[in-house]
Amino acid sequence: MNRCFPEGFLWGSATASYQVEGGALQDGRGPSVWDTFSHTPGKIKLGHTGDVACDQYNRHAEDIALMKKLGLGAHRFSLSWSRIFPTGRGAVNQKGLDYYRRFIDGLREAGIDPWVTLFHWDLPQSLQDDFGGWQSRETVKYFADYCGFVASAFGDTVSNFMTINEFMCFTDWAYGAGEENYAPGGNLDRKGVNMVRHNALLAHGMGVQAIRAAAPSASVGLAENALVCVPVIETKPHIDAARKAYREMNAHFLTAIMEGKYLDCYLEEQGADAPEFTAEEMAVISSPVDFVGHNMYLAHHIEADPSSSSGYRVLPHSASYPHMHAHWIKVSPEITYWAPRFVHELWNVENIYITENGCACPDQLDDSGRICDTDRIFYLRNHLLSAARATSEGIPLKGYFCWSLLDNFEWADGYTYRFGIVHVDFETLVRTPKMSAEYLSLVASENKVL
Ligand code: GBH
């Protein structure tokens, strides 16, 4: 079994603004929908908020020093839109911009390549109040303006931009009726949600174009959590079924971006609720990207089913299927092989990155008092073995970002799930690397699964 990665394989950690920065009211930052949502009683476990989070806004120098020590070559993080434009548009907040300049310069000086996500769910509240957020084309237009502004501000030193992180989480789950876990918390019907999805895709496409115009030499992509379909048994019929399922089950996001069209199966399934769109919009949505960033945590196991019209069936997981501390993370390390393979086979993508992978683990101390997260090491090692399988077969998987550098604000779960390879004490804000940090650091330095 191959355990080595190709030379130049990129190793990184990942975070997102609202989850780590804190400094919610500092230096003129405007509120985002997540500030409002987290301050709404009953929305977040234990009433937690991101007001302070890891306080990275004030402790970035310490965090950069920590990353340097770990020796990971890249760090993926997102910008708080409302820190730069407090109302999402209009006058820039210079202090907010200066913060990111300091952060980016600090990473560069430490030899760490900054990978910038423009939007990781923290929509400026003002755009929600004034236009209904992602329900409106105004928000799409302001997002593109913001992308262009950021690319011209940082294009001299940032080479890799991601427009949007994970579409589902700020569209369906944020605006759909009956979904209560994601800001701003909406009650749209199917048709309304499909239009929000479509606006989000358009924002991505217009964002790509705006970044290219402002920073022509930068690479532009996205970080999408497409549903990962894995053949339940690795025979040709099941593999073909899983590839088809992957394309069709992601028809409303990644497939639309890669192919510039909504598949018939999606339009038929949605019927009268299908999104309204023009050919011109689909062309914008499918603006070419330089890389596909893929977040991945769990699999959908697929079997070929000649008796169904789709030709495949999504298999259920039994109660004893292994999972991590957060139960939704069903352990299926095959994902880091199959997702890159399908993205390459379906769309000829030549630059694929795993932009998130990781898991939450409860703290377990050993007798020396160290956090001994052998469960996370188990999770990472197995996912990395599958990733090495992909690269050894020539699948153009170019890098791996671990979610997350730090324990942080896990959205509706507050601070109850710890995804970091570095522990954060949320009383004292002291950072302590866990055993998995040592593991990933060694893997990166040897460029090999250990
Ligand atoms: C990513 O989202 C995010 O990009 C990142 O911000 C986040 O911290 C990280 O993953 C870890 O969650 O089955 O009802 O319990 C992943 C989105 C969030 C999708 C949890 C599935 C489970 C809902 N996932 N969600 S449930």
Q: How far is the CA of 237 from the centre of ligand 1 (A)?
A: 31
Q: How many whole angstroms separate alpha carbon 422 and alpha carbon 159?
A: 26
413 Cα–ligand 1 center, Å:
10
165 within ligand 1 shell (Cβ under 6 A): yes
In a domain, 260, yes or no: yes
At residue 178, the pLDDT reads: 84
Q: What is the pLDDT of residue 32?
A: 99
Q: What is the mean pLDDT of residues 305-324?
A: 97
241, part of any domain: yes
Q: What is the pLDDT of residues 159-186, one digit of tens each?
A: 999 999 999 999 999 999 987 799 999 9
Q: Which of 297, 324, 325 to mutate to test the pocket of ligand 1 (most atoms within 8 A of CB)?
A: 297
Domain presence at residue 5? no
Rounded to the nearest whole angstrom, what is the distance from the C-alpha of residue 302 to the centroid of ligand 1? 21
The reply to whether 4 falls in a domain is no
* Structural domain that includes position 59: 10-446
Task: Tell me if 356 CB under 6 Å of ligand 1.
Answer: yes
What is the total count of domains within the chain? Answer: 1
Q: Which residue, judged by its Cα, is nearest atom 23 of ligand 1?
A: 328
Q: How far is the CA of 223 from the centre of ligand 1 (A)?
A: 13
SS3 assignment, position 245: helix
Residue 1, in any domain of the structure:
no
Is residue 189, in this structure, part of any structural domain at all? Answer: yes
**Cα 395 to Cα 393: distance, rounded to the nearest angstrom:** 6
Nearest to 440 by CA among 111, 64, 14, 7: 14
Answer whether 403 contacts ligand 1 (Cβ < 6 A): yes
Q: Is residue 2 one of the residues assigned to a domain? A: no
Which residue is closest in CA terms to ligand 1's atom 25?
328
- Segment 327-346 shows an average pLDDT of 98
Q: Cα 27 from chain centroid?
A: 27
Distance, CA of 163 to CA of 143 (rounded, Å): 9
Nearest to 42 by CA among 186, 180, 184, 187: 180
Q: Are 44 and 431 in contact (CB under 8 A)?
A: no
Supply the pLDDT for residue 158.
98
Say what the pLDDT of residue 180 is. Answer: 78
pLDDT band at 189 (very low <50, low <70, confident <90, very high): very high
Length of the chain: 450
**Is the CB of 346 within 6 Å of ligand 1?**
no
Task: Please enumerate in sequence order all residues whose Cβ is within 8 A of that of 280, keeping only pairs 6 or more positions apart, or say none.
Answer: none
Q: What is the pLDDT of residue 94?
A: 98
> What are 217-258's pLDDT values in tens digits?
999 999 999 999 999 999 999 999 999 999 999 999 999 999
Model confidence pLDDT, tens digit, residues 191-219: 999 999 999 999 999 999 999 999 999 99
Ligand 1 midpoint to CA 233 (Å): 27
Main-chain dihedrals φ then ψ at residue 189, nearest 5 degrees: -80, 180
The dihedral formed by the CA atoms of 198, 202, 208 and 210, expressed in degrees to the nearest 10: -160
Average pLDDT over residues 80-96: 98
Backbone phi, psi, residue 41, to 5°: -55, 135
Task: Look up the CATH number of the domain holding residue 153.
Answer: 3.20.20.80
Is residue 143 in contact with ligand 1, taking CB distance under 6 Å?
A: no
Lowest mean pLDDT segment, chosen from 14-28, 169-183, 435-449? 169-183
pLDDT at 179: 77
CA dihedral 344, 405, 16, 223 (to 10 degrees): 0
Predicted local distance difference test score (pLDDT) of residue 14: 99
Q: Percentage helix, strand, coil, to 5, in the chain? A: 45, 15, 40
What's the rounded mean pLDDT across residues 355-374? 96
57 lines ligand 1 (CB under 6 A): no
CA angle, corner 186, sides to 15 and 262, nearest 5? 75
CB-ligand 1 contact for 419 (6 Å cutoff): yes
Give the chain's mean pLDDT: 98
| Cα(298) to centroid(ligand 1), Å | 10
Q: Residue 12 above 90 pLDDT? A: yes
R_g (Cα) of the chain, nearest Å: 21
* The dihedral formed by the CA atoms of 254, 257, 258 and 259, expressed in degrees to the nearest 10: 120
Mutation pick for ligand 1 pocket among 38, 169, 170, 353 (CB with most ligand atoms within 8 Å): 169
Tell me the H-state helices in 260-311. Answer: 264-270, 279-285
Report the residue among 411, 413, 417, 419 best suited for mutation to probe ligand 1: largest number of ligand atoms under 8 A from its CB: 411
User: Is 259 a member of any domain?
Assistant: yes
Positions annotated as catalytic residues are: 166, 356
Contact call for residues 54 and 424 (beta carbons, < 8 A): yes
